[in-house]
Amino acid sequence: MARGSREFIIRGVTYLAGEVGIRQFLDVGTGLPTASNTHEVAQRVAPDSRIVYVDNDPLVLTHARALLTSTPEGATDYIDADLRDPDAILREAAPTLDLNKPVALMLMGILGHVKSDDEVRSIIGRLMDALPSGSYLAQSDGTNTSPEMVAAQDQYNEGAPLPYCVRSPERIASFYEGLEMIPPGVVRVTDWRPEIGPHEIKHAECFGGVGRKP
Ligand SMILES: C[S@@+](CC[C@H](N)C(=O)[O-])C[C@H]1O[C@@H](n2cnc3c(N)ncnc32)[C@H](O)[C@@H]1O
């Protein structure tokens, strides 16, 4: 799942920076720095890309320096903030991102941490409302698409300080209401535009997609 969803991030960011021409990314729920972080992928395609990372985990904050290695033409910043406080995210992102120009909002593997569908819709709505037409939402999350995945997640959640809710693909797709889905829509991440590459992982219990604000 980790590798399949990372490959989806790489293909999604490559698509947005390349084919679409997006130059600004707001990556909420960044996670620990790893291989092919959002700014590395985007700036490989377009060195002038500007990326703001957001997470509320102190451990991610400790390692954030590894995310602040921008090209000279572009910019990266890290904000220690909570997804549930979109106003703070937008306020603190504003010095780095021009919120009058299209932004790709990335919510990768984070919405499962918000149990209520209504709250997810409200958070996405508040963030997307603040972004102009031509902005994008790119998202992925673990799904309840196999009994093994559901059992593993239940077991994890018993002792987890931060439980994660695996949803059905249909529930995830409903979060894109009001956005134009980019083909192939909300699908298993391993089936999303494999031709862009990389595409080593062929199956993961994780669905995602990319939608455009009209
Ligand atoms: C499963 S990881 C995903 C990391 C990365 N986006 C990826 O897809 O590889 C989820 C991340 O979301 C962060 N997170 C969870 N709830 C959050 C919240 N309410 N506000 C900000 N970050 C949150 C966690 O700290 C964690 O780093």
Give the model confidence (pLDDT) of 132-151 as tens digits. Answer: 999 999 999 999 999 999 99
- 36 CB-contact burial (10 Å; exposed 0-12 / middle 13-18 / buried 19+): middle
Classified as helix, coil or strand, 212 is: strand
* Amino acid making up residue 96: T
Q: Which DSSP state fits 175? A: G
Looking at residue 199, its pLDDT comes to 98
Looking at residue 78, its pLDDT comes to 97
Q: Are the C-beta atoms of residues 173 and 209 closer than 8 Å to each other? A: yes
Which residue's C-alpha comes closest to atom 25 of ligand 1? 57
Spatial CA neighbour of 70 closest among 23, 111, 109, 29: 23
Q: How many CA within 13 A on the CB side of residue 33?
A: 12
Looking at residue 137, its pLDDT comes to 99
Ligand 1, CB cutoff 6 Å, lining residues: 5-6, 29-31, 55-57, 60, 82-84, 108-110, 113
Looking at residue 189, its pLDDT comes to 98
Which residue's C-alpha comes closest to atom 26 of ligand 1? 31
Residues of the chain with pLDDT under 50: none
Looking at residue 200, its pLDDT comes to 98
Looking at residue 59, its pLDDT comes to 95
Task: Tell which atom from ligand 1 comes closest to the C-alpha of 9.
Answer: 8
Looking at residue 209, its pLDDT comes to 98
Dist CA 169 CA 39 (whole Å): 28
